[in-house]
Amino acid sequence: QQQVRQSPQSLTVWEGETAILNCSYEDSTFDYFPWYRLFPGESPALLIAIRPVSNKKEDGRFTIFFNKREKKLSLHITDSQPGDSATYFCAASDDYAQGLTFGLGTRVSVFP
């Protein structure tokens, strides 16, 4: 059973639009939610992260919205650029397990 679910699997937006990536989780003990970005041929890299004490985290054009009650979060990429084209992974962890539990990823394509 997938502990962290992401949707959609792939997403295409035009340059300047807002891309919305969704993530949900099962385990109520998860208390740290990072998003990693993977460009083809490169390494996953931390993009932005949130803890449940907040319901919003913003970093430039990237914003996480978090709903603890519904166990859902979303990543918004505003003013999308072709350079944002990549696979975005939602992940989760808690104090008890080591390592991160990743979702399957959302492949984002931004066309000029």
Partner 1 sequence: EAAVTQSPRSKVAVTGGKVTLSCHQTNNHDYMYWYRQDTGHGLRLIHYSYVADSTEKGDIPDGYKASRPSQENFSLILELASLSQTAVYFCASSDAGNQDTQYFGPGTRLLVL
Shortest distance, CB of residue 16 to partner 1, whole angstroms? Answer: 29
Sort strands 56-59 and 45-50 into parallel, antiparallel or unpaired.
unpaired
Centroid of chain to Cα 14: 19
Which of 79, 84, 48 has its CA nearest to residue 66? 48
Helix/strand/coil for 21? strand
Least separation, in Å, of the C-beta of 73 and partner 1?
16
- Measured from the CB of residue 33, what is the shortest distance to partner 1 in angstroms? 10
Q: How far is the CB of 99 from partner 1 (least distance, A)?
A: 4
Token reading at 76: 């918004």
CA proximity to 92, closest of 100, 104, 83, 84:
100
Q: Rule CB under 8 A: which residues touch partner 1? A: 6, 31-32, 34, 42-46, 49, 89, 91, 93-95, 97-105
Nearer Cβ to partner 1 (99/112): 99
Q: Is 100 in contact with 31 (CB distance < 8 Å)?
A: no
